[in-house]
Amino acid sequence: MLAEEREGRRLFERALDIDDLAWPFDRARLHLMFGAHLRRHKARSESQAHVSTALRTFTALGAASWASRAQLELRAVQSSQRPKDAPPNQLTPRERDVAALAASGLTNKEIGGRLLMSPRTVGAHLGRVFCKMDIDTRSALRDALAPMDMG
């Protein structure tokens, strides 16, 4: 899981080729981890295939908590596949609130205090905002939100 992209890919593929890995649950966990690895390395369509396989298996096995994890990973893969020119209005109302406060210069702790959420939750919302808007800094967020304020 911590290996570089090529080495990680090779190791995951090797693990999935093991015939003795007869337990569907273990194979599904490998698919889920491999899918997460691929998403982090921008191989989104391959990632979606592995995560979908894991989700189907966990659901069939009745492993609800693992199916939930796979569903979250699948959402992350799908949200990272949005077009780069996706309009900012695709943000949820909560994401817009967090984005506006972050763009105004508040810290995650300050935003959390205003919106009654933990700083980690604020960070999670900002991560989704950055992904949806294809940006990676708060200053870019401020610049991206400025046209929205004028309209």
Close Cβ partners of 90 (under 8 Å, ≥ 6 residues apart)? 82, 132
Q: Extract the tokens encoding 66.
A: 């693992």
Instruction: Determine the Cα–Cα distance for residues 65 and 59; give it in Å rounded to an integer.
Output: 9
Inter-helix orientation angle 44-61/64-79, to 10°? 160
What is the predicted pLDDT for the residue at 150? 43
CATH 1.10.10.10 fits 88-150, yes or no: yes
Q: Mean per-residue pLDDT for 4-30?
A: 74
Other Cβ atoms less than 10 A from the Cβ of 82: the count is 13
What is the predicted pLDDT for the residue at 147? 65
Instruction: Determine the Cα–Cα distance for residues 71 and 26; give it in Å rounded to an integer.
Output: 17
- Pick one of 1.10.1060, 1.25.40, 1.10.3470, 3.30.70 as the CATH number of 5-79: 1.25.40
Confidence at 41, pLDDT banded by 50, 70, 90:
confident
pLDDT averaged over the chain? 80
Domain residue extents for the chain: 5-79, 88-150
